[in-house]
Every structure is written in structure tokens, then in C-alpha cells.
Amino acid sequence: MKLQRKSLRTVAVAATASMAFILTGCLGASSSTDGDDITLEYWDHSGNADEQEMIRQILTDFEDSHPGISVDFLSLPADSALQKLNTAISSGSTPDVSSISGSMLSPFVAQDALEPLDERLADSELAAGLDEGSIEAVKADAGGSLFSLPFTIGSAALWYRSDWFEDAGLNGIQTWDDFYSAADHFTDSEDGTYGFTLRGGSGGVFPLLQYMYAYSGVDELFTDDGVSTIDDQANIDAVERYIALYKTATPEADLNNGFAQMVEQFDSGQVAMLQHNLGSLANHEAALPDKFEAAMFPPSVDGPNVVLSDPIQQYVMYSSTDHPDEAWELIEYLMSAGVNSTVNELKGQLPVNLDARDEPWVGSLQALSAARDLLASPDTVVFAPPLYLPEYSDVIRNDMEPMLQQLLSGEISANDFLGHLADALTVAQSAYDERAGGN
Amino acid sequence: MSTTDSGLSTRALIQPRRRRQKEEMPKREPGFHLRITLPLIVFLIITLVPFYWMILFAFRPEGSTSLIPIPFTLDNFVYVWEVLGYDVFFKNSVIVAVLSMICTTVISVMGGYALARYAFRGRGGVMVMLLCTQFIPGAMMLIPLYSIFNTLGLVNNLWSLIIANVVFELPLTVILMSSFISKIPFELEEAAMVDGCSRLRGFLLIVLPQMRPALVAVGSFTFIGAWNTFLFALMFLSKQELFTVPVGLGYTIGENSVQYGAMAAGGLVAAVPVVIVFAFIQKYLVQGLSGAIKG
């Protein structure tokens, strides 16, 4: 018995010692030894598995060209990046630099999480080489100051089956009437093919707004009095014409369509046209090589090209960084022509660095060269969604997405739909102006 | 009656072989199939169709619309294992799940025994407090837990996950163990102590073997809970080489596209250990959860 008690005690002591040993770091990540070297943390918000290797190579090249600086890279899954970053901000554990999507900028600025970049950009060689419109758009989202640098531009496009159009003797989509007649022409519900596909499910409101402003030609979101233009009669007419396509030129199941279903419908040959941004270029290239093209939105019925821009992806530096100068060097490197070109070539989107836009690969991609030409045109009016309004995302997601399905089902009118959104944004803008005036 | 040399009666030798009678199926009342069988079939189909969808997408090539996985391919598994880094995520998940299971089981047995056998002041309050902790969602504790782990130097360490899993699983498992142990007669331990066993030895030799169903139930649920932990893994870890399978699954959803084949393959990789665990322990589960004891 004594021997057994002793062996039990020995086992207990050994187990406790083992736990302590393991607890102190056997299951942890290796920490970098610094010395005089600086280690930066860079987080990527997009979580694209195919881009991780490219980003690692870019960061390795940065380390090689910047001795004494190493970069720890973390790719965050796209659908949980915001949650991770918000938790990091709340707990004071943010990285030095990260990429973010456009909808993240305003809440991060409101939490004082980001380092201002106005002076750094003004003193940088980059200043003259970046797309001014994108810089102004992100400044507007952040209340007038620069807290981020945009690095890629996605543009809404009308993807269409160029092979079908050629067989039908159609010359692309030059006007909105071309679009609607093509939608009607290619619809054969008995055969299961349709002219168009609508996004009635998650994320469907913003594409509708992009189409609406492009069709109507209304070129501002708010009047000078701060009243939303969303329920302008021209916009109501645009939406009424658009939703008339549902079930007449689109599948009935579009009521619940997200972007994945829409893209799948187009890539599988079920529909002739798709409205989606440049981000789906790679999907179409894989599924329909040489069988599709992209048309930018035609000029509005009033004449000008109006573009409600997609949320812009940006690089930010966090105010909690211990190495702001080195973090800025990393951002400058990422925004340089060569790197910005590499990143966007893989994404299939338009670079913000103007020298990168002149690269041959941009001109070789029909969709990108069309987007580049549209944005460069003096007749194009570009404005951004009001991401600076804290209520915007909530209203769109929680109010308008369910109402969009009611609109498509015919339960409410376009007037009611747009009126609700316009009222909500007008109130939000008024509150924003009051806060800004109070500060 | 005559007997043979072996002593068997002739009658015994010439008795005709009795035919085994068919067991008669119990007669079902009219409408039984309509009320019971049909809904069960519908429920089974609803349960199995998503699983079949996952198998279908995992084993057929990208872009295929076939309703059966032909042509058959393992490309999606190769992709998630080699490109997405599932080999690392899987290893981390196994470590976290196994250690969480062991720690939770050991501590809950000790705590359950204390609650079941010892009458101490505040025992009822302890039970109530344990139950009350179940009302607090884990997401609310993220920031304070992160601060604690940061102070302890456990951020970017799998132990932060293990400790968090153990802490959140313990209240229910302690109560479960306590309930199970209280049904085991104390007289058995008394008899062992009369024979010279210490309390601990009596517990190990007498009580513990009878707790197998409860141990299996607690261990399996803890394993599965720890295996599926997503939020803690995402928030307490900021190194990709430490992420677990649920976080890794998120990499199949990009900003502008979803890799359905890779997602399905990753989902199967995540589901298979859980299915295997359930397959081996299912007979213990009901016993463990109902607190029944053998014999």
C-alpha cells in the first residue's frame, strides 16, 4: 500500500510538472527574436487562398529590400475578418498594417483605431501617382481626412455571352434599350435559359442602386440640403423597369440569389447577362474562356455616365503600432507600381497606381480596359456610397434586403422601397451633419 | 423403450426435428406507417441530403453538375490539404480536442464526485452558479478572456483554446458527473474502505469502472465541442500555423467567390473524426446521458 501511495504521488507530481512545462509554451507559436530588427504584423482581410502565396512573396521581397524589417503575415477568412479586427481593436492587439474593405473604414475611424496618413502621403513620391478619385472617395468615407490608401478598384459590369450575342447578330450593350431587348431576346423559359439574373438575396440592394443611378443619371446621393436622392422619380422609373425583368427574363429562383448563385448561373450557361463587379472575372475566364465580355454600364437616359463606386479595398496603419515609420514604408512598398500591378493582376481588378494601369496586362483584359477607359473619361461622374454613415450598413442589410424580396414579389412598390431607404439615409445624414457640426 | 449403447433413448433418436418457428411480426395498427414510418423517412432524407451534397461536391470536379460524383476526383482534398494548409489545421484541432477532452473529463470527475459525495456548506449554491454560467454566451467573454490570456502570455498558444474550452464545458459536465455518481450506491465504496481501501483507491477501483457511460458521454461531447470551436480559435490565435479546422474552412469562402468543392472537402475532413467518435461511443451515449448504471 505505501509503495502504491508513493507511486500515485510520483505520478501526480510528474503530471503537474508536465502540464506546467507544456503550458509555458510547447503549444505556442515561435516568437521572433528582435535584437535591433523590427517585426511588423500584416493582416490580409480577403482570405483568398490563391493570393496568399503571392502576398508572402511580396512580403519576402519587401524584407529583402528593407534589411532589419521582417513581416509576419496572417490571412484572415473573409467572412470573419471584420470580427477579428474589431476584437483586436477592442483588446489592443491590432497588427501594424492590414488591408480592409471599404465598409470597415468608417467604424475603424470612429474607434480611433487608425493612424492618419495625410501628411505621410503628401511627403511621399506616391502622392502624384495614385488615382485621385479613389483617394477622395476614401477621404469622404473617413470624414474628410485620409486614414487609408486604396489599392484596387472594382467596377460594376454587365457580363454577357459574347458568343450568344454574335450568333444573334447583336453588337454588345451600347444603351439601356439594348440591355432590355437582349434580356427579352435570350429568354426561353421552356428551354431553361434566361436573358438576365437578378440578385434578390443577400447583398442585392447595392447592385440595384448601382444600376439605378447609372440608368437614371442622377449624379449625387444627397442634395445640398442633405436630402437623399434615392427616391427621385427618375430612380423610381429605373427600378420599376428593372424589377419587371423578374420572372419574365430571369429565373424565379433569383428571389434568393446571392453572388455565388448568380455567377454560377452565368458560368453554367443558364443566363445571357449578369451584373457583377470585376471580381468575378477569374470565374468567367475559367468557365467560359473566350465566350464572354464585359460592358460597363451604358450612359444614363439623361446622357452622362454615372458610377456609384464599389466599396474600395484599402491599406491602413493602426494607431497602436510601435513602428509607424516602418509600417508606412510597408504601405508605400505595397502601393508601388510593380507591387500594385502584381496584386491587381491576380485579383483581375484595376490598380490604383496610375503607372500600374498602363501595364500591358490591363489592356489585354477587355473588362479591365473598358473599366479603365470609363473611369478616365471626363464625362463620367463617380461617387461613393455613404459608408461614412454608421447606420448605412444596418439599414441596407436589415431593412432593405428583406424589402427587396418584397419588391420583387410585388408586395410593395418601387416608390415604397426607395422611399423607405431615402428617409432612412436622410435621417442618418442629418445626424451625421449634426455630429460633425458639434465637433 | 429400448436404449442404445450410448444410453440415449430410442425415442430421443427418432424425435423429429422441430422446425424453428418464424417469429411473427407484431401487427401494426392501421395508420402506423403514415404516422411514424413516413415522417421518419422524410426526416432521414432531410438529414442525409445535405451530407450527400457535401460528398457530391467534395468528390466531383469543379464546375460539374452531375448528381453523382462521376467523374470521381480527389483534387479537392489535395487542394485543401496542401494549398489551404489543412494538414496543419487538422493537427492543431486534434491537439486541442484531445487535450480539452482529457482535462475536462478528469476535472469534471473530480468535481462531480465532490458534489455528489460531500455535503459542504454552499453546495447548493455552487450547483446553481454552475448552471447560471450557461446563460452567458461565449462571445460576451471574448474581450475579457483575451485580456486574461494576453496577461498570461497565452495568446497565440493552443492552450488558450484548451483552457477556454475546458472552462466553458466544465459546468455542465460537472453537473452530469455529479448526477451519475450520486446514483452509484455509496455502500460499494464503504465496502471497499472496510476492506482497507482509501477513499481514492475505492473510487478508482469501484466507482470509476461503473462510470464508463458517463465518461464516454462527457469525453465525446467535449471532444466534439472543442473540435468545432471557431470563435475562440479565430480570436485567440493570430498565427496561421496555429489555426484549427473550423477557421481553415473559412478560407474556402473568398471575397468574390466560393470554392464549393474545396469547402465540401474541408467539411468532410472536419466531419469525419466526429462521425467516427460517434460510431464508437453511441451505445454509451444514452446510458451516460440518462445516468443509468449497469447491473
Omega of the bond leading into A324 within 30 degrees of 0 (cis) = no
Q: What count of other Cβ atoms lies within 10 Å of the Cβ of residue A402?
A: 10
pLDDT tens for chain A, 439 residues long, are 333 455 556 656 556 555 555 554 556 654 444 567 899 999 999 888 778 889 999 999 999 999 999 999 999 998 889 999 999 999 889 999 999 998 899 889 989 999 999 999 999 999 999 998 889 889 988 888 999 999 998 788 999 999 999 999 999 999 999 999 999 999 998 888 999 999 999 889 999 999 999 999 998 899 989 999 999 999 999 999 999 999 999 999 899 988 888 888 999 899 999 999 887 887 888 889 889 999 999 999 878 889 888 888 999 999 999 999 999 999 999 999 999 999 999 888 889 999 998 898 888 888 888 888 888 888 888 888 898 888 898 899 899 999 999 999 999 999 999 999 999 999 999 998 888 775 4
Architecture of domain B86-294: Orthogonal Bundle (1.10)
Question: What ipTM goes with this model?
Answer: 0.76
Residues of B near A (CB-CB distance < 8 A)? 63, 65, 83-84, 95, 142-143, 146-147, 150, 154-159, 162, 196, 198, 200-201, 234-235, 238-242, 247, 249-260, 262
In chain B, residues with a C-beta closer than 8 Å to the C-beta of A279 are 255-257
**Do residues A271 and A250 lie in contact, with contact meaning Cβ atoms separated by under 8 Å?**
yes
Alpha-carbon gap, residue A353 to A130, rounded angstroms: 5
Which chain A residue is nearest to residue B242, measuring alpha carbons? A29
SS (H, E, C) chain A: CHHHHHHHHHHHHHHHHHHHHHHHHHCECCCCCCCCCEEEEEEECCCCHHHHHHHHHHHHHHHHHCCCEEEEEEECCHHHHHHHHHHHHHHCCCCCEEEECHHHHHHHHHCCCECCCHHHHHCCHHHHHECHHHHHHHHHHCCCCCCCEEEEECCEEEEEEHHHHHHCCCCCCCCHHHHHHHHHHCCECCCCEEEEECCCCCCCHHHHHHHHHHHHCCCCCECCCCCECCCCHHHHHHHHHHHCCCCCCCCHHHHHCCHHHHHHHHHCCCEEEEEEEHHHHHHHHHHCCCCEEEECCCCCCCCCEEEECCCCEEEEEECCCCCHHHHHHHHHHHHCHHHHHHHHHHHCCEECEHHHHCCHHHHHCHHHHHHHHHHHCCCEEEECCCCCCHHHHHHHHHHHHHHHHHHHHCCCCHHHHHHHHHHHHHHHHHHHHHHHHHC
- Rounded to a whole number of angstroms, the distance from the CA of B83 to the nearest CA of chain A is 8
* A29 and B CB contact within 8 Å: yes
Residues B143, A263: C-beta atoms closer than 8 Å: no
Please check whether residue A259 touches B, CB under 8 A: yes
Taking 3-state DSSP, the helix, strand and coil percentages for chain B, each rounded to the nearest 5, stand at: 70, 0, 25
- The DSSP secondary-structure symbol of B9 reads B
Looking at CA atoms only, how far is residue A349 from chain B in angstroms? Answer: 12
Q: From B95, which residue of chain A is nearest by alpha-carbon distance?
A: A27
Say yes or no to pLDDT of B103 above 90.
yes
Contact A73 B63 (CB under 8 A): no
Which residues numbered 363-392 in A keep a CB inside 8 Å of some CB on B? none
Query: Residue B281 is inside which H or E element, if any?
Result: helix B260-290
**Cell representation of residue A409:** 414579389
Q: Which of B157, B251, B255 sits opposite A279 (nearest CB)?
A: B255
Cβ distance of B242 and A29 shorter than 8 Å = yes
Using CA atoms, how far apart are residues A250 and A179, in angstroms rounded to an integer? 13
Best of B82, B152, B238 to disrupt the A interface by mutation (most A CBs within 10 Å)? Answer: B238
Please tell me whether residue B253 adopts helix, strand or coil conformation: strand
Contacts of A44 in chain B (CB under 8 A): none
Inspect the interface and report whether the beta carbons of A78 and B250 lie closer than 8 Å. yes
**In chain B, domain spans:** 31-73, 86-294
Q: What is the pLDDT of residues B107-151, one digit of tens each?
A: 999 999 999 988 888 888 888 888 888 888 888 888 899 989 989
Pairing, β A350-351 against β A149-153 = antiparallel
Q: Residue window 33-62, chain A: list those with CB within 8 Å of chain B.
A: 41, 43, 46-50
**Interface test with chain B among A7, A31, A91, A259, by most B beta carbons within 10 Å:** A91
| A159 strand-pairing partners | A274, A294
| Smallest CA–CA distance from A203 into chain B, residue | B256
Question: Which one, of A386, A312, A8, lies nearest residue A149 by Cα?
Answer: A312
Which residues from chain B sit within 8 angstroms of residue A46, using beta carbons? 254-255
Task: Tell me if B65 and A80 make a contact (CB, 8 A cut-off).
Answer: no
Q: Residue with C-alpha cell 500500500?
A: A1
Looking at beta carbons, which residues of chain B come within 8 Å of A267?
63
CA distance B139 to chain A (A): 10
* Grid coordinates given for A339: 507591387
CB of A13 within 8 Å of a chain B CB? The answer is no
**A96 interfacial to chain B (CB closer than 8 Å):** no
Highest mean pLDDT: which of A241-245, B14-18, B193-197? A241-245
| Chain B interface includes A3 (CB < 8 A) | no
The DSSP secondary-structure symbol of B196 reads T
Instruction: Dig out the grid coordinates for A192 from the structure.
Output: 431553361
Closest CA–CA distance from residue A41 to any residue of chain B (Å): 10
- Does position B269 have pLDDT exceeding 60, yes or no? yes
